[in-house]
């Protein structure tokens, strides 16, 4: 995987063979600015302000300081087995998935904020709304043929083969 920084100044890329590290390059100079000891990571992405990088493996999510490679946060345990993660527009919330459940993590503390349950099949994709001021809406899709729309505390709607339905608050 790879990711451009939102400011366009850097590229981050995973190297899963050999030394299993991630690197960040300066786009203008082509120089490696930072090396991350990310292990066998599944993905990498920059925070919205380009100051942090998130990597994830089958058993952990790590938040790194992009300028130095210092690991600021490592999240381990239930819910981090993920092939993909997304960050809120503020960079404060990370979402990962495990089977039919999504987990929302505080990117600064590593604490699980919310467990989003309701799909009856594997969650196949998820994305935050592109709102710049705050991330209040998350959309998830599943192989149960539904698309769910969530805010930080409540599931708002479910869209499926039969159309839109009202849903109930998240646990």
Q: List pLDDT tens digits, range 23-63.
A: 999 999 999 999 999 988 889 999 999 999 999 988 899 99
Mean pLDDT on 139-166: 69
Q: Is the pLDDT of residue 165 over 60?
A: no
Domain carrying residue 168:
103-171
Answer whether residue 93 is part of any domain. Answer: no
Answer whether residue 90 is part of any domain. Answer: no
The top-scoring range by mean pLDDT among 13-17, 64-68, 121-125 is 64-68
Q: Are residues 1 and 71 in the same domain?
A: yes
Q: Is the pLDDT of residue 78 over 60?
A: yes
What's the pLDDT at 158?
A: 47
What's the pLDDT at 170?
A: 41
Q: Is the pLDDT of residue 4 over 90?
A: yes
pLDDT cut 90: percent of the chain above it:
49
Name the more confident of 97 and 30: 30
Spatial neighbors of 118 by CB under 8 A, at least 6 apart, are 148, 155, 158, 167, 170
Mean pLDDT on 14-29: 88
Answer whether residue 121 is part of any domain. Answer: yes
Q: Is the pLDDT of residue 82 over 80?
A: no
Q: Are residues 1 and 66 in the same domain?
A: yes
Answer whether residue 161 is part of any domain. Answer: yes
- Alpha-helical segments (H) within the chain: none
Spatial neighbors of 62 by CB under 8 A, at least 6 apart, are 36, 38, 54, 55, 56, 71, 73, 74, 75
CA 134 to chain centre: 16
CATH of the domain at 30: 2.40.10.480
Report the C-alpha gap between 85 and 66 in whole angstroms: 17
Q: Are residues 16 and 70 in the same domain?
A: yes
Report the C-alpha gap between 111 and 125 in whole angstroms: 22
Answer whether residue 84 is part of any domain. Answer: no
Name the more confident of 140 and 171: 140
Q: Are residues 1 and 69 in the same domain?
A: yes
Q: Are residues 1 and 72 in the same domain?
A: yes
**Structural domains of the chain, count:** 2
Long-range contacts of 133-140 (CB under 8 A, 24+ apart): 133/89, 134/88, 134/89, 134/90, 135/88, 135/89, 135/90, 135/93, 138/95, 138/102, 138/104, 140/97, 140/102, 140/116
Q: Are residues 7 and 69 in the same domain?
A: yes
């Amino acid at each position: 995987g790879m990711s451009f920084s939102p400011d366009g100044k850097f590229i981050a890329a995973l190297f899963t063979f050999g030394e299993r590290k991630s690197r960040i390059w300066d786009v203008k100079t082509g120089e490696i600015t930072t090396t991350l000891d990310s292990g066998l990571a599944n993905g990498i992405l920059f925070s919205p302000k380009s100051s942090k990088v998130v990597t994830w493996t089958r058993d952990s999510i790590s938040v790194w300081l992009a300028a130095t490679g210092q690991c600021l946060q490592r999240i381990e345990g239930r819910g981090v087995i993920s092939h993909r993660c997304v960050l809120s527009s503020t960079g404060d919330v990370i979402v990962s998935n495990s089977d039919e459940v999504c987990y929302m993590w505080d990117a600064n503390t590593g604490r699980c904020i919310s467990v989003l349950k309701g799909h009856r099949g594997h969650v196949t994709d998820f994305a935050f709304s592109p709102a710049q001021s705050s991330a209040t809406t998350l959309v998830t899709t599943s192989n149960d043929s539904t698309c769910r729309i969530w805010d930080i505390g409540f599931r708002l709607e479910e869209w499926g083969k039969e159309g839109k339905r009202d849903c109930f608050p998240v646990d």
